[in-house]
């Protein structure tokens, strides 16, 4: 909860600074937005350790191979990074580039998910 309050504070400061600077230097306002966004993401990264540990525990307790966790974490990271990049492009007025980022991210996610798909298919075939 404390992390969320800190993130909210950084977001508000970033928005206000952006609004104040945008009138005089729009290019600097964009840099402020990017810097604030990166800072918010860095603040949230600390919470990822407990989340990944929880995933490992779930995988181990269910008997699912923990090697499948790596592609799963990569897929989640690709999604978040792509959305972050696309949002920055949209904020900068380059929505067509944002669309391309999201399209390529979907392809990369599909490629990264192949080990998971293969394992699921093997499990289904093994049940038959």
Q: Calculate the average pLDDT of the chain.
A: 88
Whether residue 106 contacts residue 61, with contact meaning beta carbons closer than 8 Å, is answered with no
Say yes or no to pLDDT of 1 above 90. no
Indicate if 78 and 102 belong to the same structural domain: yes
Indicate if 9 and 61 belong to the same structural domain: no
* Interatomic CA distance for residues 36 and 18, integer angstroms: 10
| The pTM of the whole model exceeds 0.85 | no
* Interatomic CA distance for residues 40 and 54, integer angstroms: 23
Indicate if 55 and 108 belong to the same structural domain: yes
Say yes or no to pLDDT of 64 above 80. no
* Interatomic CA distance for residues 35 and 43, integer angstroms: 12
Residue 6 belongs to domain spanning: 1-46
Indicate if 59 and 113 belong to the same structural domain: yes
Indicate if 24 and 56 belong to the same structural domain: no
């Amino acid at each position: 909860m404390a992390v969320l309050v800190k993130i909210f504070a950084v977001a508000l400061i970033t928005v206000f600074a952006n609004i104040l600077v945008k009138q005089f230097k729009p290019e600097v306002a964009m840099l402020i937005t990017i810097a604030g966004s990166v800072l918010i993401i860095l603040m949230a990264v600390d919470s990822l350790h407990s989340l990944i540990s929880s995933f490992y525990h779930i995988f181990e307790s269910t008997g699912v191979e923990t090697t499948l966790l790596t592609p799963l974490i990569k897929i989640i990271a690709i999604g978040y990074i792509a959305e972050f990049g696309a949002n920055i492009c949209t904020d900068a007025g380059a929505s067509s580039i944002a669309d391309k980022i999201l399209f390529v991210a979907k392809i990369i996610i599909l490629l990264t998910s192949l080990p998971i798909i293969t394992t699921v298919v093997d499990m289904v075939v093994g049940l038959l």
